[in-house]
Structure 1
Amino acid sequence: MTHFSFDIVGFDLDGTLLDTSGDLAAAVNHALDSIGRPTLSVEQVKPMIGGGARHMLAQGMAATGGCDTATLDLLHARLLAYYEANIAVLTRPYPGTLDALDALVAGGAKVAIVTNKLEALATQVLVELDLLDRFACVIGGDTMGPGKAKPSPAPIHEMIRRSGGGRTAFVGDSIFDIEAAHAAGVPAIACSFGFLMQPVAELGADAIIDGYDELLPTLARLAA
């Protein structure tokens, strides 16, 4: 057991560990621009992030003239191709992220990722930022099969299994994260600095952090 009594601390990726908003917005805008749609600001795209690329793009299309399935299919492929080629141009960890991960590992915890990003893209961005080796596992939105991305508890359960089991907490920034954690029976911490679809206080998290300097004290309080 660690000094704060959690064996595993899981994290969402976009809007939680990494600020991916600039690169995701660029990919959305590349897709929209390819059919003559108006582009969106990074701040407009941020609340659309969290449910996977297709969900994000569908919201971007709805905001710029409507969304039909055939066009969504076409633009989704364009978005993914562009994003894969430009995945870490602007993306960086949030301030204090790496120090917090180091402290967790030093305390005996395993850290892992459960994201609704496609597993291959999640792995790619972590490789490009030289972060992949820090994590016990990376579970993507497609890892568990159709219909089993967050808010399903399935990827949280799989993260726990791959990380060796034990007392677990989960950190995220969206309702998908909080609902998945609670459905899996683990406490959820919400990041107020993430890509919020709604006020952070409305997510129903067990705790809220405003920065990574607050993570370990928050975990200690939850453990107690």
Structure 2
Amino acid sequence: MNVGAGRPFRSPKAILFDLDGTLVDSAADLTAAVNELLASRDLPALRLDQVKAMIGGGIRKLVERAFAASGTPLLGSALEEANRDMAPIYRRHLTGLTRLMPGVREVLTHFHLNGKAMGLVTNKPQLATREILLHFGLTEYLGAIVGGDAVTYLKPAPDALLLALDQLGVEPYDALMVGDSGADVGAARAAGMPVVLLRGGYSQIPVEDLGADLVCDSLRDLPSAMQRLQDAA
């Protein structure tokens, strides 16, 4: 556990979670989808580590980055066409290779039993998000589920976080964001709420350098780390 910025910590009434790299490891499914799309253009496949480095910013940004990495960058109508072609491919690759990150179910259960409201905010489309959460049986824990197409601006804008908190009936100063990337930090700061980052996600920058209030090795460490911070406050 690393504590950043020296900010005082208060026990939150609500916790918002990112999805990819925080609750689920979806990199293998995203790689399969990207490579199916590239193969339809007779382009070579990308490696898992290459696609993992492209995650964040939504599916449109993933498509753009994938074609750029393949040596065939797309612009304008060609990029729009590729995004349209990606939609059905992406829907076929939501849960086949995706796995829960360590400790997800036990941690969500812990917070539920301790009376915390919980929500999910992601740049992934809403329907795809719900399908993944239903597949893993996580919807019962979440009072708000906000996908990227439910708001005007994706993270790092605060729109999704503020919408989720409105649905939960909690003010930003009484909430906590948990994610794995600079986009999560930026969104939380813009919304006026503290943020915890987890190691082992998809950030290409060390999470210690992203300005979070707290950095944990995994989700399993979050409850005890929060308790220690609360006791020290």
* TM range, smaller chain: over 0.9
The number of residues matched between the two structures is 219
Alignment of 1:77-96 (within 5 A): 77-96=84-103
**Contact 2:30-2:93 at 8 Å conserved across structures:** no
Q: Which residue of 1 aligns with 2:219?
A: 212
Alignment of 1:58-207 (within 5 A): 58-65=64-71, 66-145=73-152, 148-166=153-171, 167-207=174-214
1:221 to partner: Cα distance: 4.2
Give the conservation status (yes or no) of the 8 Å contact 1:191–1:211.
yes
Contact 2:161 2:191 in 1 (8 A): yes
* CA offsets 1:121-172 (integer angstroms, 9 cap, x no match): 1111112222222211111111122xx2111112111111111215100011
TM-score of the pair, normalised by structure 1? 0.93
Letter of the structure 2 residue corresponding to residue 46 of structure 1: K
Amino acid at match of 2:20: D
Q: Moved runs in structure 1, 4+ residues, more than 4 A?
A: none
Paired residues for 1:45-60 under 5 Å: 45-60=51-66
How far the C-alpha of 1:95 sits from its partner, in A, is 1.0
What is the Cα deviation at residue 86 of structure 1?
2.6
Residues 144, 154 of structure 1: 8 Å contact kept: yes
SS of equivalent residue, structure 1 residue 108: coil
Output the CA distance in 1 between the equivalents of 2:225 and 2:155: 23
RMSD: 1.4
Q: Secondary structure at the match of 2:149?
A: coil
**1:9 aligns to what?**
15
Write the letter of the residue equivalent to 1:174.
S
**Counterpart Cα distance in 2 of 1:82 and 1:101:** 30
Q: Give me the identity figure in percent.
A: 35
Q: TM-score normalised to the size of structure 2?
A: 0.89
* Cα deviation digits, residues 4-24 of structure 1 (max 9, x gap): 721101001011100011111
Question: Are residues 1:28 and 2:28 paired?
Answer: no
Partner Cα distance (1:190, 1:35) in 2? 37
Q: CA deviation at 1:107?
A: 0.7
Is the Cα–Cα contact under 8 Å of residues 156 and 183 in structure 2 kept in the other structure?
Answer: yes
Q: Is the 8 A contact 1:31 1:76 kept in 2?
A: no
CA distance in 1, matches of 2:220, 2:107: 7
